[in-house]
Amino acid sequence: MENQTMTAGDETVLYGYLAEFDKVDDLLVGAATVRDAGYTKWDAHTPFVIHGLDAAMGVKKTILPYVVFGAGLTGTTAGILLQWWTNAIDYPYLISGKPLFSLPANIPVAFETTILFAAISALVGMLALNGLPRLYHPLFRSRAFKRATDDHFFISIEADDPLFDADATRELLESISGRKVEEVEDVV
Amino acid sequence: MSTTHSDTRSYLDNTGDNPAVRARLVVGDNDFHAITEKVCGIVEMPKTPKMWWVAFAISSSLTLVLFAMIGYLITTGIGVWGLNVPVGWGYAIVNFVFWVGIGHAGTLISAILFLLRQRWRTSINRFAEAMTIFAVVCAGIFPGIHVGRIWFAYWLFPIPNQMLMWPNFRSPLLWDVFAVGTYATVSLLFWYMGMIPDLASIRDRATTRLRYYIYGFLSLGWRSSNRHWHRFEFAYLLLAALATPLVLSVHSVVSFDFAVSIMPGWHTTIFPPYFVAGAIFSGFAMVVTLIIPTRKLFHLEEIITKRHLENMAKIMLATGMMVGLAYSTEFFMAWYSGNQYEAFTFLNRAFGPYAWAYWIMVTCNVVVPQVFWFSKLRNNTLILWIASVLINVGMWFERFVIVVSSLSRDYLPSSWGYYRPTAIDVLTFVGSFGLFFTLFLLFIRFLPLIGMAEVKGVMPQAHLDRPGHKGHGDYHGDIAGAEVV
Amino acid sequence: MNEDKSNHIFIFPRWTWVLRPGVALGALGGLLYAAVVVTFGFSPVATDVGYEPVQPVPYSHALHVGQLGVDCRYCHSTVEKAAHAAIPPTQTCMNCHAMIRANSEKLIPVFESYATGMPVEWIRVHDLPDYVYFNHSAHVRRGVGCVSCHGRIDTMEVVAQVEPLSMGWCLRCHRNPEPHLRPIEFVTQLDWVPMEDQAILGRRLRETNNINPPTDCNTCHR
Amino acid sequence: MSSIKPTGATYWRSLDELSRTPEFAEAVQREFPNDEFDTLPPATRRQFLMVMGASLAMAGLTACRWPKEEIVPFAHRPEFRVPGVPEHFATSMEIGGAALGMLVTSFDGRPIKAEGNELHPDSLGALSAVAQAQVLQLYDPDRSRRLLLRESGQEFVKRWDDFRAIVPAQFAGDGAGIAVLAEASSSSTQAKLREKFLGARPGARWYEYEPLSRDNEREGTRLVFGSAQRVHPELTHAAVVACFDADPLFDHPASLRLAREFAAARDPESGAGARLYAAESTYSLTGVRADDRFAVASNRVPALLAQVAHRMVADHGVDLPAAAAGFAGSVDSAASDAEARFVQALANDLAAHPGYSVILVGPRQAPAVHALAAVLNHALDGVNHTVTYSSVPDPDRPSHFEAIAELAARMGSGEIETLLILGGNPAYNAPGDLGFAELLAKVPTTIHLSLYDDETSQRCTWHLPCAHTLESWGDGAAWDGTVTLRQPLIEPLYGGRSAIEVIALVAGDEPISGRDLVRRSLGQDLPAMSSEVGWRGALRDGVVDGTAWQKTTPKLSPSALAGAVDSLRSVLDTPDPTSDRLELVVMGDAKVLDGRFSNNGWLQELPDAITKVTWDNALLISPATARELGIGDGEVVVVEANGATLELATYVLPGQARNSVCVALGYGRTAAGQVGDGVGVDANPLRTVAAPYVLRGATIRGTGRQYALATTQDHFAIDTIGFNERNHRVENLVREASLDAYLANPDIFHEYDHHPPLISLWKDHEYEGEQWGMAIDLNTCIGCNACVVACQAENNIPVVGREQVLNQREMQWIRLDRYFKTDPDVPIDEIDNAEVVFQPMTCIQCENAPCEQVCPVAATQHTPDGLNAMIYNRCVGTRYCSNNCPVKVRRFNFFNYHKDLADTTKMQFNPEVTVRARGVMEKCTFCVQRIEAVRINARNDNRPIADGEITPACAQTCPTRAITFGNLNDPKSKVSHSREEHRSYATLAELNIRPRTHYLARLRNTAEESGGESHAPSHAEADTHGKESV
């Protein structure tokens, strides 16, 4: 606790344990171990994407692609409908003797709306699924954790994981990280 | 780590192509932290370098010129430009196409090279994306101000109104509105999303409360959770997959502005590929033009290596040749089609009143890139820089030739004319550079101009160096059989 | 290994949770607001309807038309043959007011005008932009009642604009004139109500007088 | 008008916004201040027209809800007046002593457009560009607004009463020392008043001066017939028309009638093929139209005519009257083969068509030449067939130049005490050798009645503001003498008075209105006029039927002829010009004439038919001469003649005669007004009484400086690539063939279209109901520019000024494309004769309009009746439509061109047409306002629209009726018929744009091609007539 800010009167509860690594290999092994131990409410924190970590953690494949695909389809339909309704139905007018509605002329706009909808859904979907923005998080209370965006790797196990046991979990983590585990607390 | 050196060249040079050895994307002895230090260091600099201030002073005053010109234009009328009948489009549209073109390299590098697994992109993509955004900002200005009644420009958007009128979706200009609008949005998303983890790094190194809150807010509370990384990677992949056709579509649509018309010199089917190639060409030229001084200024030679520059030189060579091919194809078609108007238009381009512009274009875009055939020359930073500047000039003239020379002499000889830009035209154009560089300078000073997270990802340390593992990086072994929860 | 000297650490307060719903709400609300302002706020419905200027002479349509039953065309005599439904010359007022109320204070401007020949300067109520070419005769002779555009003038002490007179408003009727058609003889009868279902009547009148209002631009803009 | 300074921070959506500005309110006050009304007689009808006009003008100017807008009704509405419904009044204008009838449209009291009066013999419904521009001049803010007295270097503003006060003193006694200098006038009212004036003052003298005088013709007839005669060409049945420096189709008081007749004489569908020969030094519109044109110095034209005479006598035995035999032998040798060929061909043709041929000589040629022509016409049995004569009014007056010379002499000798100048501007346009401007100082009292406070007024002691044609009562005679009335459309805006009113005033006549003067005079001439019915009828028609002068059949007078032969000799003896002793031809300008219209923006900006130059006059010089003298196109040169010099830019013109340079009068004004001042250079100083038109021994030298002439089309000389391509394209654009080739193979004009079948990707739109279309006959179009001005007046087209024209931003909707056709084998700088063709080009209303599909806001789209509509209030101004227009007929408002217009000028606007804002595209819409007006009325009375009921402004005013407009879905309509003609073709059809405007190809009918056989309407008669011909 010495490296955590404590303002007087702050009611705190244990959020979970935080184990620190400085080698990719150790992290991967550790992750696999935690996974095999059956923990569910835990996470690994790395400054960059580490290949194989998903497998090592057993992260499920995200549904994002389906979201984006749906949004894309919506975009296409919206694009076509917009052009058809405005130019051929609501206020039809004769332009250069051309037909009121002809797909070829509507492809560019429909295409762009497709991309637009899909792209926006990709970012927004990603953030939503990740529960971001979340400016405050108990982990940010740990000083060591600041290196998670720099050069160190972490594994955190939340206190409200069904398998969480103050001592057993600590041992597990210390065994894989080979160093002291930090207790992260949360204010209420 | 310098043991992987294949030859005796200086440790900063990784341009050698020895198939036996994977050339390093980052040179010098850098661990993850060193990268963080280098990149965040620029943002955290206690005092800004003089050079930056000088550059900023110049570019911001040019920006003021731009706004002054626009103000004058709006209060007085399009007549302050050199336009006339027959030449209804001049500098404004030329600049628009020019800037949009520049705005292509960024997305191309980030998206297409990403899909092609060109990992060397990581050092320059952030930079290029930023450039894209700013170029598109500059581009966006021109179609806006070139209309006669700017205060009614919103009629180009399908907004419900008391007139019950809608825009005409048959017009390429409307396609433009959607294409450029979408492109700007998507590039912005792409750029910002890629930046989130790096903003978090800056946040976590913050030594003042203000900086913590600003970067903390921008990084949306990124806590580098691997579960987040997983979706992040996916979103990034999807965006890349979406941006790739988009980037190709944008300049195609821009080219439709011309191709869909019936003007000789405009009405041609090769415009889309021709424009896209040109866009990539000019885009890379601009990246190189900017990146060379920047990397000097902030000592990034180890991250933005000579190899990066060389690769870009090669791409410029390739696209330059494509553009050259397009030029000759146009002439061939003009002759082969047997269309007298078409034939005359091209004869007129090369030898008519605008021949000077045409030959500047050919020299800069076709002749100059030929120097990249020679490894010595393309690896000489100075030559590379000069060449890329010339290419930018050439590409501007390409648009000038297409827009102006075609319009100035069309079907009826009685309505032939000649277009002369006014001082206002020129100053507006120069001013747009001011805006571009102003934004750019702000970017390199306050935002991470290199994708740290991505660069770290391609460093050797990022992968298993345990003996006995094949491939590189991916962890096999006792994870293999484990079933996934 | 960088060790922070200070014992201090920055962190966002816990309440920043609320940011998330906040952001979402803000985005949605903003869009909604913009849409409302654009579609309604700027339209003549909001700006023009209800315009009720004070006229130099407190002429009461309620009195002349409503109570005395003067026909619109007695004063606006050109409405059937011209684009403009001309404001009557002072002469027309004097036809009656030479005798009636011949010494009313309120009528002084009229008497002056009649004597000097200088016109009475009325304030225009129903006003279309210059680039709109509306033709009264074309409408009146097809059985579009005065009331359709001007409202119940016969009940107005002071004339006010009751319809937006916006392009959209014109178009709605040009696209579906039937609700506004009536037998020609009742055109100026502001309180007229159809004996039968207006829908049926409208359709019939439309056929018999073969009314198909154009919606192309040149109809109103030249 | 030169309101093109890019200033002003505000824009208008239409004139509406302007009206919100306080300046406008204040300006309106200035325009109609109450004291103005005080000076007027108590409430008259016309005063109210004016008030209405003004108020509606203002009312019409506001469209925005805020601030409040006022409606000002009549206090007493005149009977039959419907506010907002235009009325038409017949009136007339007079130029050079011939009255031209017009029909003026008055909108709520504001005259806004002048059209021709169908009942008038010289108009037949058409009106020249100049005459139409009268409407603009009426509202010219630079017109003089007050009487001025200039004494000892000071100016005093006076009123009419002050002037009346000095009259008795100034015009007292027997009139010795009193002189009046008037413009030519055909008004019998004025004639009577003159007699009254002179009768009371036997010592007074009356002089008449016109700087562009036709007196040579008058004197020529005197030489032949012993008495002055007026010559009336009759072209309807002419088979051969030979013009020597003459321009009957354009530069003639009856040109509108002659053009109409000529068109009829060339209608190929009726087999008529009159052949037109022209020998002239510089292009005239007649010369342009000629089948066989020979460019020759004006100085040699007489020799040409003499040779023709010789050949006719020698080869064809045409016998001249004994007394005139001398004419025949005078010259028998040609200077060149080309000349010989021309003479021979002409002589043969003339001789072959006795009774159907006519020789016309232009006003710049000496009387003797006219005499010769008269003799030949006589010999060719033309009299009463192709040319008729009538007596001239006032036959004994000295010629204009003699008159002004005599006056100048008397002024110089100080005989003249009081000089009254009625109109005109002698200080500017009297021949330079008289020094008239200076002489004015020698006259104690000089009084100038004038529209403007011009060069002359500024040198006179008194300046009197003249009432404009459209403001005043008057009468006149058409060229053939038909009595023509003039009635005011509006009260004098600036309190001016007409000439007759002033004469009446000085003649001491009891002051009566112009109306009474005219009515009294006409009553005396024509009994019918004294009755109210007759008078009203005449006012309605604008002319009195059957009042044309008796045609005379004058006999040749041997005694006179003897003198004629001698004077012809002396004419022929003058040496031909050489490159170091050039001939300088001074001609009246086609637009501003002698400068009287210099302050008219429409005319100044009107591109000259041949050179396309606006806002300038240039020195026309042939390529060959330019090369010999080493002078370039557009180079500023110094011209010296008669000791005076002139510095102006050259315009190298193929088809200009060698060693003959030409400059137009009417420029270089110093007191014309803000429009006309300093435009071009003044050529009057070079003229002399002896040689007012053709100046010999002129020299020019280049200065090396270049001057940009504001042309609306490329110069003849451009880069070679462009030059070749242009020549290559013309034949397809302006299709032309010889009459015989056409008659032999009617489909000849469709051999030009070689393009694949024009098919669409989609099912073509079906056009039902009325479908408007137009046909323009290039065979009868003479390029007179009347349509251009008609369009400008009808559609509120702004004038943009010289700088903007230089920037290629001229706004006229109709572009009269002019192309030179030259022999490709002849080097450019050797070209002596170039064929010129015209193609009136305006929006051709494509069915598959390229402009429509590219407009992002649908501001231009198709109407059900097939118009390519342009909705100004929707346009955002991307200019994409203009870029994509293959014929480039769209015009863009680069600035707010109406911002600096005077409020009076705005009164000319046609309220039926939106005034376009800055940043808006505009173009021809087939006068959609006219279409809608007719359509609504027709619909109101449940009747179909009759063919010809709708006429666009251009078609209405076309003198040759070259433009037909109507419903293409009506097989019986005129336009449908023209469409079916073999000559009908569409421009750029290969683009599949399906234009609604078609062109009828042009026909040439030269002697070689038809083996000397002209296609006279009536060959049989020709022979019966031409017994004596071989």
Least confident of B128-132, D451-455, D813-817: B128-132
C38 vs B161: CB contact, 8 Å cut-off?
A: yes
Residue D1014's pLDDT band, with cuts at 50, 70 and 90, is very low
Q: Closest to A136 (Cβ–Cβ): which among C8, C13, C171?
A: C13
| Residues D320-338 pLDDT 10s | 877 777 776 667 677 888 8
Mean pLDDT by 10 residues, chain A (188 residues): 46 86 84 86 88 84 92 95 92 90 91 94 91 85 85 87 85 84 82
Interface test with A, best of B211, B228, B230 (most A CBs within 10 A): B230
Using alpha carbons only, what angle is made at residue D520 by residues D596 and D38, rounded to the nearest 5 degrees? 65
Handedness of CA D740, D743, D745, D750 (dihedral sign): positive
Interchain CB contact of B482 with C (< 8 Å): no
Residue D360 pLDDT greater than 90, yes or no: yes
Interchain CB contact of D853 with A (< 8 Å): yes
Chains interfacing with A (3 or more CB pairs < 8 Å): B, C, D
pLDDT at D386: 93
Q: How far is CA B307 from the centre of its chain?
A: 19
ipTM entry: 0.90
D871 vs C90: CB contact, 8 Å cut-off?
A: no
| Residues D61-98 pLDDT 10s | 333 345 577 888 887 887 778 888 899 999 999 998 99
Q: What is the mean pLDDT of residues D620-636?
A: 93
The structure tokens listed for D554 are 């004058």
Interchain CB contact of A95 with D (< 8 Å): yes
pLDDT at B351: 93
Rg (CA), chain D: 28
Q: What is the pLDDT along chain B (485 residues), one digit of tens a residue?
A: 333 444 444 455 566 555 555 556 666 667 788 888 888 888 888 888 888 899 999 999 999 999 999 999 999 999 999 999 999 999 999 999 999 999 887 888 778 888 887 777 787 888 888 989 999 999 999 999 999 999 999 999 998 888 889 999 999 999 999 999 999 999 999 899 999 999 998 888 888 888 888 898 898 889 888 889 999 989 999 998 998 899 889 999 999 999 999 999 999 999 999 999 999 899 889 989 988 988 888 888 878 888 888 888 999 999 999 999 999 999 999 999 888 999 999 999 999 999 999 999 999 999 999 999 998 888 888 999 999 999 999 999 999 999 999 999 999 999 999 999 999 999 999 999 999 999 999 998 888 888 888 888 777 776 655 443 333 434 433 443 333 33
Chains interfacing with D (3 or more CB pairs < 8 Å): A, B, C
In chain C, the residue whose alpha carbon lies closest to the alpha carbon of B37 is C2
Instruction: Compute the distance between CA of residue B414 and CA of residue D886 in angstroms, rounded to an integer.
Output: 12
Contact between residue D388 and residue D234 where contact means Cβ atoms under 8 Å apart: yes
| Residues B293-345 pLDDT 10s | 888 888 888 788 888 888 889 999 999 999 999 999 999 999 998 889 999 99
pLDDT at B108: 80
Q: Closest to D817 (Cβ–Cβ): which among B80, B156, B412?
A: B412
| Contacts across the A-D interface (CB distance below 8 Å) | 34
Interface test with C, best of A12, A135, A184 (most C CBs within 10 A): A135
C16 vs A93: CB contact, 8 Å cut-off?
A: no
| Residues D141-167 pLDDT 10s | 999 999 999 988 889 999 999 999 998
pLDDT at B6: 41
The structure tokens listed for A72 are 């894309």
Q: Hey, which residues 147-176 in chain C have their CB within 8 Å of chain B?
A: 164, 166-169, 171
The structure tokens listed for B350 are 């090369």
Residue D1016 pLDDT greater than 70, yes or no: no
Q: Closest to D884 (Cβ–Cβ): which among B80, B262, B344?
A: B262
For residue C135, give every residue at least 6 positions away whose Cβ sits within 8 Å of its Cβ, in sequence order, or none.
C82, C83, D936
Residue percentage of chain D with pLDDT more than 90: 69
Q: Which long-range contacts (CB under 8 A, 24 or more apart) does B461-468 make?
A: B461/A24, B461/B31, B461/B32, B462/A24, B462/A48, B462/A50, B463/A24, B463/A51, B464/A24, B464/A25, B464/A28, B465/A25, B466/A25
Interface test with D, best of B415, B416, B419 (most D CBs within 10 A): B415
Q: How far is CA B399 from the centre of its chain?
A: 16
Contact between residue C125 and residue C159 where contact means Cβ atoms under 8 Å apart: yes
Residue D4's pLDDT band, with cuts at 50, 70 and 90, is very low
Q: Closest to B162 (Cβ–Cβ): which among C10, C35, C44?
A: C44
Measure C152 CA to nearest chain D CA, in Å.
Answer: 21
CA torsion B51→B55→B56→B61, rounded to 10°? Answer: 150
Contact between residue D234 and residue D206 where contact means Cβ atoms under 8 Å apart: no
Nearest to B77 by CA among B144, B139, B145: B145
Chain B environment of D725 (Cβ under 8 Å): 344, 347-348, 413
Measure C20 CA to nearest chain A CA, in Å.
Answer: 6
For residue B20, give every residue at least 6 positions away whose Cβ sits within 8 Å of its Cβ, in sequence order, or none.
B6
Residue percentage of chain D with pLDDT more than 70: 90
Nearest to A22 by CA among A185, A135, A186, A177: A177
Q: Closest to B462 (Cβ–Cβ): which among A36, A48, A133?
A: A48
Chain B environment of D921 (Cβ under 8 Å): 148
B163 vs C44: CB contact, 8 Å cut-off?
A: no
Q: Hey, which residues 831-890 in chain D have their CB within 8 Å of chain B?
A: 839, 841, 850, 853-858, 861, 874-880, 882-884, 886-888, 890
Backbone angles phi, psi at D845, to 5 degrees: 50, 55
In chain C, the residue whose alpha carbon lies closest to the alpha carbon of B155 is C38
pLDDT at C34: 82
Chain B environment of C167 (Cβ under 8 Å): 162-165
Encode D576-621 in three state secondary structure: CCCCCCEEEEEECECCCECCCCCCCHHHHHCCCCCCCEECCCCEEE
| Contacts across the A-C interface (CB distance below 8 Å) | 33
Backbone angles phi, psi at D836, to 5 degrees: -115, 135
In chain A, the residue whose alpha carbon lies closest to the alpha carbon of C22 is A133
Chains interfacing with C (3 or more CB pairs < 8 Å): A, B, D
Backbone angles phi, psi at A182, to 5 degrees: -95, 135
Q: What is the mean pLDDT of residues D269-275?
A: 81
Q: What is the mean pLDDT of residues D891-899?
A: 92
Q: Closest to A97 (Cβ–Cβ): which among D848, D858, D863?
A: D848
Contact between residue D931 and residue D848 where contact means Cβ atoms under 8 Å apart: no
The Cα-based distances of D292 to D271, D273, D341, D742, D955 in angstroms read: 19, 13, 11, 18, 28
User: How many C-alpha atoms does D88 have within 13 Å on its Cβ side?
Assistant: 12
3-state secondary structure of A156: strand
pLDDT at D1008: 67
Count of helices and strands (H, E) across chain A: 5, 4
Measure A159 CA to nearest chain B CA, in Å.
Answer: 17
Chain D environment of A95 (Cβ under 8 Å): 852-853, 858, 861-862
Measure D70 CA to nearest chain C CA, in Å.
Answer: 5
Contact between residue D710 and residue D806 where contact means Cβ atoms under 8 Å apart: yes
pLDDT at D33: 38
For residue A106, give every residue at least 6 positions away whose Cβ sits within 8 Å of its Cβ, in sequence order, or none.
A79, A80, A83, A84, B169
| Contacts across the C-D interface (CB distance below 8 Å) | 144
Mean pLDDT, chain C, rounded, equals 87
B164 vs C168: CB contact, 8 Å cut-off?
A: yes
Residue D999's pLDDT band, with cuts at 50, 70 and 90, is very high
Q: What is the pLDDT along chain C (222 residues), one digit of tens a residue?
A: 344 444 467 888 877 777 778 878 888 899 888 878 776 776 777 777 888 888 999 999 999 999 999 999 999 999 998 998 888 999 889 989 988 888 888 899 999 999 988 888 899 999 888 899 999 999 999 999 999 999 999 999 999 999 988 898 999 999 999 999 999 999 999 999 988 899 999 999 999 988 989 999 999 998
Q: Hey, which residues 137-176 in chain A have their CB within 8 Å of chain B?
A: 137, 139-140, 145-151
Q: What is the mean pLDDT of residues D485-513?
A: 89
Contact between residue D286 and residue D243 where contact means Cβ atoms under 8 Å apart: yes
The Cα-based distances of D283 to B394, D266, D289, D293, D297 in angstroms read: 48, 21, 10, 9, 11
pLDDT at D10: 34
**Strand D275-280 to strand D205-208: parallel, antiparallel, or no bridges (unpaired)?**
unpaired
Q: Closest to B162 (Cβ–Cβ): which among C2, C35, C166?
A: C166
pLDDT at C4: 45
Measure D652 CA to nearest chain B CA, in Å.
Answer: 17
Chain C environment of A179 (Cβ under 8 Å): none
Contact between residue C159 and residue C153 where contact means Cβ atoms under 8 Å apart: yes
